[in-house]
Structure 1
Amino acid sequence: MSPKPDDMPQTTGPATEALPEIVDSHCHLDFPDFDGELPEIIARARAAGVTRMVTICTKLHTEANVRAIAEAYEGVFYAAGTHPMRAGEEKMTSVEELVALARHPKFVGLGETGLDYHYSADSAEAQKTSLRIHIEAARQTRLPLIIHSRDADADMAQILTEEFHAGAFTCVMHCFTSSPELAKAALDLGFYLSMSGITAFPKSQEIRDIFAAAPLDRILVETDAPYLAPPPHRGRRNEPAYTAHTARRGAEVFGLSYPDFAAQTSANFDRLFWKAARTPQVPA
């Protein structure tokens, strides 16, 4: 399912102008949607200016597969955790297990973890337990937590606030589509919000308004590929190259040029995902 050349993100200005670099902070390169195509997928991403990407493991028994992808490709990093929709069926992880995984040089974040009551409300207690385990691992490793939250705003805000006051950690609310109240709770704790392709959907003005009210230095961009492709690819398989489409819409939200928005979100990524930064520095 290779896109046609005119479907790819395009540069503006002279042909010799350098393409702004951008980061896909959340994708799933191990999913079967990409089987047999990873070299081409990653080449298209680089051609679109997406020079770094974080591929996310959602079930810890598949961590070795995700790690192998990160090891095989320059600019590809990985995170691992138990997705909240899997918390009721997967073996409960431990802080020790997550801390041990985090020693790998390309392991850059914990998760995705979180709460999902839309599809998996019956496993709410297991999700909460799993989330708190991931939070403690984030504290100990000083790596960012990657949060999935759906239809669980009140519990999510409560847990993040309680746990943060018990001991600081860093966090990104991935693919943020929740309420202004949860956005404020996360931002008040110093956390980050990540724009996915949903931000670029025509009917997503309420989500764009939430982002527009957030501090620019707390914004990331992502694909969540293979899901949530932004226009003009909506309804088709998403891939990291399409980060550029979402980022162009994000630039409009903040009234910035695309190069300036790309530079700012890349700097934000470097600050949060410090192990994947251009110049890695352990946070104080």
Structure 2
Amino acid sequence: MNPIIDAHIHLDLYEESFRKQMLSELDQNSIIHLIAVSNDLNSCLKNLTWSMQEQRIKPALGFHPEQSLPSKEEAEKIADLIRRYEKHIVAIGEVGLPYYTRQDHPEIHVPPYLDLLEHFLRLANELDKPVVLHAIYEDADLVCDLLEKHQINHAHFHWFKGSPSTIKRMINNRFFISVTPDCLYEEEIHDLIKQYPLDLIMVETDGPWPFDGPFEHLATHPKMIHDSVRKISELKNQAIETVYDLLYKNTVKFYRLNRNE
């Protein structure tokens, strides 16, 4: 089995027993690293702790946008952690804009979320850290505006979905995307994979988020990304070995993992 990296997973959202089982099965599934993104301050602390116990866990610290805004104190504590552990973490994330929350609550005021995101982007610039982004559809253009404003090139749009014009803009900026196991059954993602350059793609689970299709009723596990790689190979009409190799190298390069071993 070829080596691969799960480029986006929420380890702290798994039940402890399943998380331990999952970690014990990484070797047999050729999962070399997990990019463990954070949701809030408590999540940041957990990911830091686990990453110091298990070198395959590579932490990213941030505040997930699909929730109420953090207090000023929490935001400052997260920023302090990022600065204190800048040599240990691989990225700032997950950060972005609350697209799904606004579908249910359109009254949500967006500017404070933009301010928080810009706060993290300034920090990424200051520390020269990659950014892991939650930004889809029209939100992606707002985020691209900020990335261009701050001249940030090291951006990863996880589980991305967007318009052809946004896709073109992101490709021109050489921004990375990652796809989840829903690439096996979502036509929208099939089209995205066909359009996006393979050297700007990574694979992820966004676990423990559940999936449909062949994964219905299954707990999300990093081993599922092997199915994603096979689907990408089919859609790109490229040899599976070539696709594995490039996806792996893309993730190592983007997250500078050779510097963090």
Report the TM-score, using the length of structure 2 for normalisation. 0.88
The percentage of aligned residue pairs carrying the same residue is 19
- 2:138 corresponds, among 125, 140, 154, to 154
How many residue pairs align between the two structures?
A: 254
Equivalent positions of 1:51-90 (< 5 A) are: 51-90=32-71
Distance 1:52 1:207, change over 3 A: same
After superposition, the C-alpha distances for 1:9-41 in whole angstroms (9 at most, x for unaligned) are xxxxxxxxxx2100100001111x331233320
Residues in 1 aligned to 2:147 and 2:126: alpha-carbon distance in whole angstroms: 13
CA contact (8 A) 1:198 1:228 kept: no
CA contact (8 A) 2:153 2:173 kept: no
Residues in 1 aligned to 2:61 and 2:209: alpha-carbon distance in whole angstroms: 18
CA contact (8 A) 1:200 1:230 kept: no
Shift of 1:104: 4.4
After superposition, the C-alpha distances for 1:174-213 in whole angstroms (9 at most, x for unaligned) are 0112333322222221100101122112xx1222112211
Equivalent positions of 1:115-264 (< 5 A) are: 115-120=97-102, 121=106, 122-150=108-136, 153-201=137-185, 204-229=186-211, 231-264=213-246
Shift of 1:236: 2.7
Residues in 2 aligned to 1:195 and 1:101: alpha-carbon distance in whole angstroms: 31
Partner of 1:15: none
- 2:15 corresponds, among 34, 44, 49, to 34
After superposition, the C-alpha distances for 1:143-192 in whole angstroms (9 at most, x for unaligned) are 21111124xx3343134234424433410110112333322222221100
Amino acid in the other structure paired with 1:66 = N
Residues in 2 aligned to 1:179 and 1:235: alpha-carbon distance in whole angstroms: 30
Shift of 1:84: 0.8
CA contact (8 A) 2:97 2:114 kept: yes
Q: Residue 119 of structure 1: SS of its match in structure 2?
A: helix
CA contact (8 A) 1:25 1:53 kept: yes
CA contact (8 A) 2:179 2:201 kept: yes
Residues in 1 aligned to 2:139 and 2:86: alpha-carbon distance in whole angstroms: 30
Structure 1 position 113 matched with structure 2 position 95: yes
- 2:4 corresponds, among 14, 17, 22, to 22
CA contact (8 A) 2:135 2:143 kept: no
CA contact (8 A) 1:230 1:246 kept: no
Q: Residue 74 of structure 1: SS of its match in structure 2?
A: coil
CA root-mean-square deviation: 2.2
Distance 1:236 1:103, change over 3 A: same
Larger mean CA deviation between 236-245 and 116-125 belongs to 116-125
Structure 1 position 103 matched with structure 2 position 86: yes
Greater helix fraction, Structure 1 or Structure 2: 2
Residues in 2 aligned to 1:231 and 1:78: alpha-carbon distance in whole angstroms: 30
Report the TM-score, using the length of structure 1 for normalisation. 0.81
Q: Residue 128 of structure 1: SS of its match in structure 2?
A: helix
Residues in 1 aligned to 2:84 and 2:187: alpha-carbon distance in whole angstroms: 39
Structure 1 residues not aligned, in runs of 5+ = 1-18
